[in-house]
Amino acid sequence: MNHGEWTARIARVLAAYLQHRNYDVLFDHGRIESDPADKLGKIASWIGSSYSFEAILGHLDIAVVMPNTNRVIALIEIEESTDNPKTLIGDIFATLLGEQLSFQGTRQLHVGEWTTLLVLAQSARPSHETRLAYLQSTALQLKTHSSAANSHIGSVMLYSFTDESELEAKVKQYVDSAIEQSLKHGGTVSP
């Protein structure tokens, strides 16, 4: 399997799943020849006053954006081949320590209490669940000590999956939960 194949498929499934609710699903790892150009591109967490390669802290795989706004309901990072703690910590903090978030380098995205950061990692070992729970709770504690704009993300969720079907089910479940959570935090108002 090529890097990002599951991620791109999950993004397409999620776009179809949310189509009737008009949420934008922006994603990376797709196919230029078949995926919509306005939905395919890099989602970058970055610092500073101008977007550049040197300012990027990390990339995310999927952003679910509220209809007719740039408010992000869910940011999703999918690790298709590892649940290595160092990789997962990098995924979380490259996002939370950023000052800005953009799509395709030009579309400014907004995060806040209404946003959920969801990191999913493939793992065949149920024993790693304790480690994932520890990383999640510690990330939530540490983000409160940051003044970075992206640290205002309301929820950080870290879960594992064993195969593509479980990944699809979990993404749908947690995105539905993120949408519900966003509504409690004024998720119907544009920035």
Identify the CA nearest to 110 among candidates 63, 53, 142.
Answer: 63
Instruction: Return the percentage of the chain with pLDDT > 90, whole number.
Output: 82
Which pLDDT does position 73 carry in this prediction? 97
* pLDDT (average), residues 47-67: 96
pLDDT of 129 > 90? The answer is: no
Average pLDDT estimate for 150-167: 94
12's tokens: 């397409």
- Helix (H, G, I), strand (E, B), or coil: what is residue 27? strand
Q: How far is CA 159 from CA 15, 45, 86, in A?
A: 21, 21, 15
CA dihedral 45, 50, 52, 57 (to 10 degrees): -30
Does the global pTM surpass 0.85? yes
Cβ–Cβ contacts within 10 Å for residue 3, how many? Answer: 9
Distance CA 132, CA 84 (A): 10
Please report which confidence band the pLDDT of residue 3 belongs to, taking 50, 70 and 90 as the band edges: low
Q: Between these two residues, 186 and 183, which has the higher pLDDT value?
A: 183
User: Torsions phi, psi of 55, nearest 5?
Assistant: -90, -15
Average pLDDT, the chain: 92
